[in-house]
Structure 1
Amino acid sequence: MNYTYRIYPDLHQSATMLEWLETSRQVYNRALGELKDWINSRKCLMDRCSLNREYIIPADVPFPSYHRQQNDLPKLKQTWPDLKNVYSQVLQTTIRRLHDTWKAFQKRGFGFPRFKKFGQFKSFLFPQFKDNPINGFEIKLPKIGSILISYSRPIPDGFKVKQVRVLSKARGTQWYVIVSIQSQVSIPDISVHGRAIGIDLGLERFATTSDGNFFERPKFLKSQYSKLKLLQRRAARKQKRSANWEKAQIKVARLHNEITAKRKDFHYKTAHNLCDQAQTIFAEDLNTVGLNRGMLRKECIDASFGAFLSRLEWVCWKRGVFFMRVNPNGTSQTCPSCGATVGKPLGERVHHCPECGYQTHRDHAAAEMVLWRGVNSVPVGNRGMETACAGVLAVAQTSSQVPKSRQGTTRNSKK
Structure 2
Amino acid sequence: MTFTLTYEFKLKPTAEQKEIFNEWLETNRQVYNYALGERKDWFKSRACDVTSCSIKSQYIIPADTQRPTYNSQAKALTDAKKQYPHLKQVQSQVLQQTLKRVETAFTNMWERNFGFPRFKKRGRMRSFVFPQFKNNPVMGNKIKLPVIGVVGFRKSRPIPEDAKVKQVRIVKRVSGWYAMITLQWDVNVPQPMPHGNALGIDVGLTSMVAASNGLLIKRPRFFVDGSRKLKLLQQRVSRKRKGSNNWLRAQQKVAKLHEYVANRRKDWHRKLSHQLCEGVGMIFVENLNLVGLSRGMLGKHCLDAGFGQFFNILEQTCFKRGVYFQKVDPRKTSQICPNCLHETGNKTLAERVHKCNNCGYITDRDVAASQVVLIRGLAAVGHTVKMLSEGKNTSFPMTKESHG
Which string of whole-angstrom CA distances, capped at 9 and with x for unpartnered residues, describes residues 320-354 of structure 1? 32222222232222211112233443222222223
Q: Secondary structure at the match of 1:183?
A: strand
Match of 1:405 in 2: 389
**Counterparts of 2:59 and 2:228, CA distance in 1:** 51
Residue aligned with 2:277, SS: helix
Q: CA contact under 8 A between 2:198 and 2:374: conserved in structure 1?
A: yes
Alpha-carbon distance, 1:54 to partner:
4.1
Distance 1:73 1:285 in 2: 42
Relative to structure 1, the CA distance from residue 163 to residue 408 in structure 2 (aligned partners, 3 Å threshold; closer, same or farther) is closer
TM-aligned CA distance change 1:44 to 1:235, over 3 Å: closer
Aligned-partner Cα distance in 2 for 1:169–1:402: 52
CA contact (8 A) 1:139 1:149 kept: yes
In structure 2, the gaps of 5 or more residues are none
Q: Structure 1 residues 134, 403: closer, same or farther in 2, change over 3 A?
A: farther
* Cα distance change, pair 408–129 in 1 and its aligned pair in 2 (3 A): closer
Displacement of 1:408 after TM fit? 10
Q: Residues 111 and 277 from structure 1, CA distance in 2 versus in 1: closer, same or farther, beyond 3 angstroms?
A: farther
Q: Which amino acid aligns with 1:61?
A: T
RMSD of Structure 2 on Structure 1 (CA): 2.5
The AA in structure 1 aligned to 2:370 is A
Distance in 2, Cα, partners of 1:196 & 1:404: 15
**CA 342–47 in structure 1, closer or farther in 2 if over 3 Å, else same:** closer
The answer to whether 1:157 aligns with 2:161 is yes
Does structure 2 retain, via aligned residues, the 8 Å contact 1:338–1:406? no
Residue 38 of structure 2 aligns to a residue whose secondary structure is helix
Question: Deviation at 1:250?
Answer: 0.3
Bigger drift between 294-303 and 86-95 goes to 294-303
Per-residue CA deviations over 1:122-158 (Å, capped at 9, x if unaligned) read: 1100001122222222222122222221111111232
Q: Which among 27, 31, 52 is matched to residue 31 of structure 2? A: 27
- 1:2-401, aligned counterparts within 5 Å? 2-170=6-174, 174-343=176-345, 344-378=347-381, 380=382, 398-399=383-384
Q: Structure 1 length normalisation: TM-score?
A: 0.87
Alignment check: 8 A CA contact 2:31 2:98 kept: yes
- How many corresponding residue pairs? 394
Change (3 A) 1:59 1:348: closer
In structure 2, distance between residues paired with 1:289 and 1:375: 27
Alpha-carbon distance between aligned partners in 2 of 1:234 and 1:316, rounded to the nearest angstrom: 44
Q: 1:172-220: per-residue Cα shift (whole Å, max 9, x none)?
A: x521111000010123454422221100111222112111223332221
Report deviation, 1:25: 0.9
Q: Residues 282 and 406 of structure 1: is their aligned pair in 2 closer, same or farther, counting only changes over 3 Å?
A: farther
**Secondary structure at the counterpart of residue 78 of structure 1:** helix
The percent identity for this pair of structures is 48
Moved more, 242-251 or 130-139: 130-139
- Distance apart, 1:308 and its partner CA: 1.0
Q: 1:327 to 1:218 in 2, by over 3 A?
A: same
**Which segments of structure 1 move beyond 4 Å, counting only runs of 4 or more?**
406-412
- Which residue of the partner structure matches residue 385 of structure 1? none
**Structure 1 stretches of 5 or more lacking a match?**
381-397
Conserved 8 A contact 2:48-2:54:
yes
State the alpha-carbon separation in 2 of the partners of residues 105 and 5 from structure 1: 32
Relative distance call for 1:162 and 1:203 in structure 2 (3 A) is same
Residue identity matched to 1:21: L
**Residues 93 and 130 in structure 2, CA contact (< 8 A), matched pair in contact too:** yes
* Aligned-partner residue type, residue 413 of structure 1: T
Task: Look up the equivalent residue of 1:364 and give its one-letter code.
Answer: V
8 Å CA contact retained: 2:386, 2:392 = no
CA distance, structure 1, for counterparts of residue 339 and residue 89 of structure 2 = 68
Counterpart amino acid of residue 211 in structure 2 = T
Mapped contact 1:192–1:280 kept (Cα < 8 A): yes
Residues 298/402 of structure 1: CA separation in 2 closer, same or farther (3 Å cut): farther
SS of structure 1 residue aligned to 2:278:
helix
| Cα distance in 1 between the residues matched to 2:367 and 2:38 | 55
In 1, distance between residues paired with 2:58 and 2:301? 48
- Cα deviation, 1:355-409, whole Å, max 9, x if unaligned, reads 222222222111111101222233x4xxxxxxxxxxxxxxxxx23x544238999
Tell me, yes or no, if the aligned pair for 1:90 and 1:127 is still in contact at 8 Å: yes
8 Å CA contact retained: 1:372, 1:402: no
